[in-house]
């Protein structure tokens, strides 16, 4: 159980266009999802916390107008990279909280990631 | 705020040898501790977790980790490494009340035949 599907797994786009990445919880409801960015050989950098039905909470230094997050249902969060530029090329990963309370709320299930290349 | 340090950036072991990956954390109370593994181009998979109780926890794929409060450590071990264990390993710390998890910088494991 607790599977998170992330789509697309890779995408190539032209500079100036927008790209949407989807993160779905397949067999559970995820009120909270997280979006990360990972550079090669580096750790995960938390970009934002996505809460169902409310605005996302962005980490310091992350441009909320550039990285639009929508969490309109309990099973789907989307990250849209607007007006993408080559420096936005990266590996983007989402995760979802499996539990809703107690220590289990800290257990995360991750998507397989999305490789974005902006030409 | 909590923090996590993985002192070893890269470790190479021979197949069949034992493995220990180090993780040190900083947090004022007992944190929730996790080890995740990431294969190239993939997301992270939970190996094991510690919340409370027995300080030696067993995980999937034959891994175990021991929580040592006196050393603020949560080292990951495996008695006999397989070639398929080659991957990136991340230690993470979470805090009560559903706070955000903080990840270490990761340790890359290479397994020699």
Give A35-63 pLDDT, tens digit per residue: 999 988 788 899 999 988 889 999 999 99
The whole-number pLDDT of residue B99 equals: 66
The whole-number pLDDT of residue B97 equals: 66
- Low pLDDT (below 50) residues in chain A: none
pLDDT, tens only, B76-99: 999 999 999 999 999 999 877 666
d(CA A95, CA A28): 13
pLDDT, tens only, B33-69: 999 999 988 889 999 999 989 999 999 999 999 999 9
Contact B96 A93 (CB under 8 A): no
Question: Any bridge partners for residue B112, and if so which?
Answer: B14
Contacts of B47 in chain A (CB under 8 A): none
Contacts of B110 in chain A (CB under 8 A): none
Q: Does the CB of B31 have a partner CB in chain A at under 8 Å?
A: no
The three-class DSSP label of residue A77 is: strand
**φ, ψ for residue A35 (rounded to 5)?**
-120, 130
Q: What is the chain B residue with the closest CA to A105?
A: B98
């Amino acid at each position: 159980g607790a599977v998170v599907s992330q789509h697309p797994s890779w995408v190539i786009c032209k500079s100036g266009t927008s790209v949407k990445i989807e993160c779905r919880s397949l067999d559970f409801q995820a009120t909270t999802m997280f979006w990360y960015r990972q550079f090669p050989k580096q750790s995960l950098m938390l970009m934002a916390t996505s809460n169902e039905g409310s605005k996302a909470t962005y980490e310091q230094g992350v441009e909320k107008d550039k990285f639009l997050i929508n969490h309109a249902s309990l099973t789907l969060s989307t990250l849209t990279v607007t007006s993408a530029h080559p420096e936005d090329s990266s590996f983007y990963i989402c995760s979802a909280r499996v539990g809703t309370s107690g220590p289990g709320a800290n257990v995360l299930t991750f998507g397989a990631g999305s490789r974005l290349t902006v030409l | 705020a909590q923090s996590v340090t993985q002192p070893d950036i890269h470790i190479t072991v021979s197949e069949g040898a034992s493995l220990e990956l180090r993780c040190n954390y900083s947090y004022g109370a007992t944190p929730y501790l996790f080890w995740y593994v990431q294969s190239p181009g993939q997301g992270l998979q939970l190996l094991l977790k510690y919340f409370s109780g027995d300080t030696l926890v067993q995980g999937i794929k034959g891994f175990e980790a021991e929580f040592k409060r006196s050393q603020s450590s949560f080292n990951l071990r495996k008695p006999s490494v397989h070639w398929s264990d080659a991957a990136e390993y991340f230690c993470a710390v979470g805090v009560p009340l559903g706070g955000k998890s903080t990840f270490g910088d990761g340790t890359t494991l290479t397994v020699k035949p």
